[in-house]
Every structure is written in C-alpha cells, then in structure tokens.
Structure 1
Amino acid sequence: MGSPLAAHQDVYILGPGDRLQLQMLDPSAQAYGGNLEILNDGTASLALLGSAQLTGLTISQATQWLTQLYGRFLIRPELTLSLSAPRAMQVTVLGEVQTPGLYSLSPGGDASAVTGVGGTGNPGLPTVVTAIQKAGGITLNSNIRSVTLRRRLPGLSSDVKQVTLDLARLLQNGNLSQNPFLFDGDTIIVAKALDPLPEEVIALGAINLSPQTINVSIIGEVRNPGPIQLKANTPLVEAILKAGGPNDWRAQKNNVELVRINRNGTVSRQSFSLNYSQGVSNAFNPPLRDGDSVVVPRSLYGKTVDVVNQVVAPLGQALNFYTLYCSFSNNDGSNRC
C-alpha cells in the first residue's frame, strides 16, 4: 500500500491514442523524425524502423527503446521524444458513489474545483475529485477518509499498485496530495462508512464531491409546488424554503416525507420534522440527491377546511340559485318566495 504522495510522483504511461513528437538530434537523420501516433495495437509507425511497440512504456523508457532500435541503422541515434497530445482517459469509479461505472475524462476538459482549497482547479488535468463528481457524487454512506486509487504499473503486465486517500484531509486542510491527477486505466473505490462520520465532514463532502446542480420535486402544501433545480446537496429545509415555504396552517410540518429511488431500484421513504434551526444532518436535515421528491402533507386543520368547503360549496350554489329564483316576481306582481 503506497502513500498518496507516491501517486503524485508517478510518470505518464503511453497507450493507444497518444500523439508524440520525435526529433533526431543528428542533422543528417532529421528526416526520420516527425509526428507519431500510437495505434490500437500499441505500436507506432516510424521511418526506417517500420513499427515499434510503445504501449506500456514511460516517455523515458520509450526514448531509450527507440534509441536502441535506431542504433542498428544510424551512427548517431540520439533522439528526443515528447508527448504532443495525450489520449482521452478512461477511469473506473466504484463503491459509494451515485452512479458507479466506467467514465471517459478528457485531458482538455474542466478539472475539479474544491470549495476553499486553492490550486485544485487545473484545466486539462482530471483528478480523483473530478472522477467522483463525474460519477454523480458520493452517497450518504460513503467514507471519504478511505478512497482507494489503483493504478497500472509500467510495462505490458497487469501489475497494479494502490494507495489509500483521505479526502477529508483535502477538504479540511487543503492537503493536495490526497487528490492526485488521474491516469488512463485508473480505478477509484470509495469505501462504505462502518461508523458515522462527523457532520462537518459529511457537509464538506456533500458540497465538494457532487455535481453542481440537482433536480428535485417539492409537492404538497408549499406555496410553489413542482419540480425545482437546486444546488447539489441542498438540505431538505432549504429546498422547502426555495419552493416558497410551507403554507401557513395547512402544512403538517412535523411529518415532511422524503421519497428517494435507490440505486437498486427500490424506493425509500423517511419522515422529518421541519426545523429551521437545524443544520445539515443525515438524521434531521439530510442533503438532497438528484431525483428526490419532498412531500409536505396537509395538516388536520387543512383537511378539515377542505372537507367543510366540499360540503358548504354545493349548499352555497343552491342558495344562490334560490335567491336568484326569488328575485323574479310572479305575473300578478307578487314575490315568488
């Protein structure tokens, strides 16, 4: 098990899709240089050599290998090899994330951004946080103190090494060694929490390790019911306030229901009391996920008023008809009623 710092010291491993620039140092051999691209079979086509296997090598190893190959034909085979365009990377994100799976990350895309931590947004260099955000963010059962990063070692073998990262140290102390840059083929596993984490750690993880926005539905006794777009991990109470707040007297504030579709397709229902002084808490004011529904039920007072209205409304209509009927006089001028 390596240290997080070791992951930052790893060197780039060449693979299919990488574009390289080859330059021969001998002026008489410069015609053999130029642009190279590693093909799907792991080889690159080179002048004079035909093709050479480069997949699985570092830049330094590939430079030594090509120097050795050109040494069979040239008196001065010295050369430089540089990476002109890295390939798109594919990483696997597993464990306690919203949508585990295989994800493509572009080296030219947006990097991760961590609130309150400087130097983590480096466009073009995806990190562990980038991949977790891409996978929909962490679940409420995640242990961000135990995130495993597995990485393939140089060479054609399937040997890997792994390090354990503590993302809480990144979020709390700005420890950038806990958020290394990713390589193609990396696997990230977010462990499940065996014991509850401190609330401040949960809140930090919810803010930083999730997508920017979510879509939820607020229905029932609120002023503006319906679908609403919120910032990721907006707590339950704040979401209700964003929907205009509960209707006075009609809302049952001590039995607000959170309906959630789980990853395995089951539906869970939890009830909470609406407490405006309660901070983010899994037990009392949970952060919401994309696709959640919040139901604010009708109070006994509201139900009673609705029943009375259903009874009184027909009577009122009948009374209005009777009054209209009586307003007309008979043919002899006398009142009908």
Structure 2
Amino acid sequence: MSKHLTPSVAGLTLFAFFALTAPLPGMAQVPTFSPLAPTTVTNPPPDLPYTLGAGDRVGVTIFDVPEYTGEYQVLVDGTLNLPVAGSIVVKGLSINEASERISQRYAPFVRRPLVTLTLIDARPLKIAVGGEVNRPGSYNVTLNEGQQFPSVTEVIQVAGGITRSADVRNVQIRRLTNLATRQRYTVNLWQLLQNGDLSQDVTLRDGDEIFIPTTTGIDLVESRQLATASFSAEAVKPIKVAVVGEVVRPGPYTVTAATSGAATADSASGSNRNVGGGSSTEPPTVTQAIQVAGGITQSADIRNVEVRRTTRDGSEQVIVVNLWDLLQEGNLAEDVILQQGDTIRVPEAETLTASEATELASASFSAAIINVNVVGEVQRAGRVSIAANSPLNQALLAAGGFDNRRARKSSVELIRLQPNGTVQKREIEVDFTADVNDQSNPPLRPNDVIIVRRSGFTRVTDTLGTIVSPVSNVFSILRFLGF
C-alpha cells in the first residue's frame, strides 16, 4: 500500500517528549527533561525496530485468558491501560520489549502469562526536512498495515525534491536516541545514484530530522545527473526566473520545459511564447530561458553567461556558463538546469569577430529576426526584416537592391546606435561578392540604418531640374494666358 504523507500544521518542530508515568514497582522515577547533549557523527543510522508511541493501536492477547484479551490504544502519555494490570508504560519500547513488560505486570494475576502483542494500526510518524529541498517543513507519514518505514529519498520527494544547490553526499539525519542525546548520522545519496548502494537510502523513525546542506561548488555534469534522480524536483513544474543583459526582451519570465527543446514563457506583460515541439520531461535550462526572452543580441558574450542563485542559507551562488562551448563541442553540461528564482545575466562582448557573429546567428537561443532600415536610392526603401546577424549585403537585397538610374553603387553609409547612447557612422564600400567581414560586408544589428546616396550624375540632374523647373512653370503660365 502507498504511504499517505501530508504536511503538518506546524513548520520544523521540536519534538515533544512525554514523561513516563506509572512506573513498575521498584522502578526509579524518570528524571525530568534536560537539554539535548551535543550531537555526534556516525554513518549510517542503525535499522531499529518499531517503537511504540502515543496513537498506536495494538492487540493484546493473553493465552487462555480471553477476558484480558482485546485492542487498546497507546495514550497520549505513552501508556496502555489494561484490565487488572492497570497503566503500563510502553512508549519507546519495541513490540517484544512491550510484550515482556506486560507479561511482568500480569505475573501476579496470571500463572506463567503468555502475552502476544501485535501492532494493529500504527500512529503517523512525524519527520522534519530542512535545508536544500523545495518545501522544507515537518511531515506526517501514515503507515498502512504491513508497510515498511519510509526511506530518506521517499520523504525528500514529499518535500518537493532537492534543489539544484543540494549537497547529496552529506545528507544529515538527526535522531533522538534517549532523553539526553540526539545522534547525528550522515548518508551519501550520490553513492546510491552511482553504485545503487541501498544502504545509503536508510529508513526513518518517528521524530527523525533530515537536513540537506548547501554544496560549496556546483559541478555542471553532476547537476544534470541529479536532475534525473527520483528525489529531484518535478521536471515539468514551471519556474519563475529573470533574464537580463544582452537579450532582446529582458525581464521576469515563467518558464517550463513541458515540450522537447521548448519553453513557454509568461512575461510580466502576460505575453506567451512557445518554442519547439515534441515531448520531454527535462527541466528548464539556460538556453530555454534565453529563448523566451527573445534570444541573445548581436553583442552578447555567451562565453561568460552568469546564473545567480540564492541558496536556502541566504548566500548567493554564481555559476559561469560557457554557451560557446555548447555550440562548438556540444557540451550539454553548459546548458545549466535552472530552479525557481534564478537570474540569468548575459553580458556584453568586448570583441566579436564577423565569423563568430555569423555562427551565433544560427544558434537556437539567438534572436531569429531583426529589423533594419534601408533608406535612399533603393527599389523598396523602408524597414526590412532579416535573419539575425545577416550582413549588409543581405539587407540591400531585401530592399530590392540599388535603383540602377539614381544610386551610388560604390559605397553606402551605415549608422548604428551604440549601447552607450552614442551614434556610429561608417562609410562602407559595397562588394556583393564579399563574404561576411567587418570592412565591406559587416553583420547588422537591430535598428541599424543603411543610407544609399545618389550618384554624382543624379545629383547634377536633380539640381538642374530644380533650377529649370521654375522657368518652365513661367513659360507654361504665359502660354496659358495667350502670350
């Protein structure tokens, strides 16, 4: 049967310990509660038998004494109230230990009592989970009949799975062993993933506390492997991230990877974008977030993309991502898996060669289309749409090419608004046979303006036309008046 696990009303709790009442004759009174002694570290916790506690329902059978046989519940003070024997403390005892204690209490009333104790309905176990999980807190674990204790990974799953900053090699389990000592154990869930070492996925007991520390450094390869673990966060759950820097539409986005190579985003304005198709269960990545932000601009430095992440302890981790290595070597580890609250910053490149700009234009996370303006002596002057990082020649052709009668075909003027607000003007010699290069056929950026000037002959004829036109108009008026 499946476990029913629900968050308790309280958050991370201190576990209450009830005083043992009604001691056996001759037994010393239980000492009052004192603060827990310092914890110790060992590996891993022992596999202890089930111990009774308040809320357990048990069956007590005394051989050949049916009038004393029945079902009883362990009371809130940890005792069983049995016929004739009265109140018997069973809190913290295993089934066998409780049977022995009940037999001792019935010895004065029954000759050689044979007591059988069975667990009919187990109480909910309270387990706390803290650190690098998505929903830290305390949880109630209900065990059905014949069910085993929950394991560490099962409870982590219920707590929403580990975050991307979790140190799974040093998962801590704190367990109260008596009224004065809390023992701390360490398990290595990485060994479970790599070697199938089930001894690391230990079973938990009532009152156990799990703490997953923050890793001191994120290994990109291990991070992708952890993302597929059964105790990781749900892959298709949407997350909210921010994308800033050299992208077309910086801002906050809600990103999900419900489809292969795709991402859906709801920006602050409520607009949606869907990229790609096919099915996948992989979580959102850096390139998917950049896609939904419109893609990188032509001045992006993809070798030093930063993912800024706030951990559960309040510190910030900065992961430097080299997307150029992803393009050149196919290194998927550089396409970092994101989590809720991440900020992706794409810096501006100090230098970018024409060949690199052309290669970036074909990347899946680059802007697909840019708009530039071509004005002057072309067939279709105005705003034209071209593929990102297209060269100057491509924009001229998109505008229908030169006006053969009027255009100066030797050179054009390129006007570009720089990120710092200044305007750059360049005179570029046109060579339609040239490959992409910074001198004669540079790659364009959004909102570049290309001015095609008039040829010398056209300027002269246009000037003469301006001079002659008024004289022609006078002769036309005189003819009209009959002179």
The TM-score range, normalised by the shorter chain, is: 0.5 to 0.7
Q: Which amino acid aligns with 1:296?
A: V
Q: Which of 174, 178, 189 is equivalent to 2:345?
A: 189
Q: Which amino acid aligns with 1:50?
A: V
Q: Distance in 2 between matches of 1:120 and 1:237?
A: 36
Counterpart for residue 37 of structure 1: none
Q: Which of 251, 254, 263 is equivalent to 1:102?
A: 251
Rate the CA distance shift 1:167–1:260 in 2: closer, same or farther, 3 A. Answer: same
Identity over aligned pairs, percent: 30
Counterpart for residue 240 of structure 1: 396
Q: Which amino acid aligns with 1:180?
A: V
> Which structure ranks higher in relative contact order (CA pairs < 8 Å, sequence separation ≥ 6)?
1
Q: Quick check: 1:103–1:134 contact (8 Å CA) kept in 2?
A: no
Unaligned runs of 5+ in 1: 1-23, 34-45, 327-335
Rate the CA distance shift 1:186–1:302 in 2: closer, same or farther, 3 A. Answer: same
- Deviation digits for residues 37-88 of structure 1 (CA, Å, limit 9, x no counterpart): xxxxxxxxx3xx21547896436x85xx64xx426x8797736526666243
TM-score for both structures, normalised by structure 1 = 0.64
Find out whether 1:231 has 2:387 as its counterpart: yes
Counterpart for residue 25 of structure 1: 2
Rate the CA distance shift 1:91–1:248 in 2: closer, same or farther, 3 A. Answer: same
Find out whether 1:128 has 2:286 as its counterpart: yes
- Deviation digits for residues 244-273 of structure 1 (CA, Å, limit 9, x no counterpart): 001124222344222233334443323322
Counterpart for residue 200 of structure 2: none
Q: Which amino acid aligns with 1:88?
A: I
Rate the CA distance shift 1:318–1:273 in 2: closer, same or farther, 3 A. Answer: same
Q: Which amino acid aligns with 2:310?
A: R
Q: Quick check: 2:242–2:342 contact (8 Å CA) kept in 1?
A: yes
Aligned residues: 271
Rate the CA distance shift 1:91–1:170 in 2: closer, same or farther, 3 A. Answer: same
Counterpart for residue 133 of structure 2: 58
Q: Distance in 2 between matches of 1:263 and 1:312?
A: 46
Q: Quick check: 1:140–1:282 contact (8 Å CA) kept in 2?
A: no
Q: Which amino acid aligns with 1:106?
A: V
Counterpart for residue 150 of structure 1: 308
Find out whether 1:207 has 2:384 as its counterpart: no
Rate the CA distance shift 1:317–1:268 in 2: closer, same or farther, 3 A. Answer: same
Find out whether 1:271 has 2:430 as its counterpart: no
Rate the CA distance shift 1:307–1:98 in 2: closer, same or farther, 3 A. Answer: farther
Q: Which amino acid aligns with 2:463?
A: V
Counterpart for residue 408 of structure 2: 252
Rate the CA distance shift 1:148–1:108 in 2: closer, same or farther, 3 A. Answer: closer
- Deviation digits for residues 287-333 of structure 1 (CA, Å, limit 9, x no counterpart): 2233222211222222112112223344445555666777xxxxxxx
Q: Quick check: 1:93–1:132 contact (8 Å CA) kept in 2?
A: no
Find out whether 1:159 has 2:290 as its counterpart: no
Unaligned runs of 5+ in 2: 13-128, 161-232, 264-275
Report the CA distance between 1:239 and its aligned residue: 0.7
TM-score for both structures, normalised by structure 2 = 0.47
Q: Which amino acid aligns with 1:170?
A: L
Look at both structures and tell me which one has the larger radius of gyration over its CA atoms.
2
Rate the CA distance shift 1:247–1:123 in 2: closer, same or farther, 3 A. Answer: farther
Q: Distance in 1 between matches of 2:389 and 2:258?
A: 24
Rate the CA distance shift 1:126–1:305 in 2: closer, same or farther, 3 A. Answer: farther
The residue matched to 1:148 in structure 2 has which SS?
A: strand
Q: Quick check: 2:239–2:339 contact (8 Å CA) kept in 1?
A: no
Report the CA distance between 1:135 and its aligned residue: 4.5
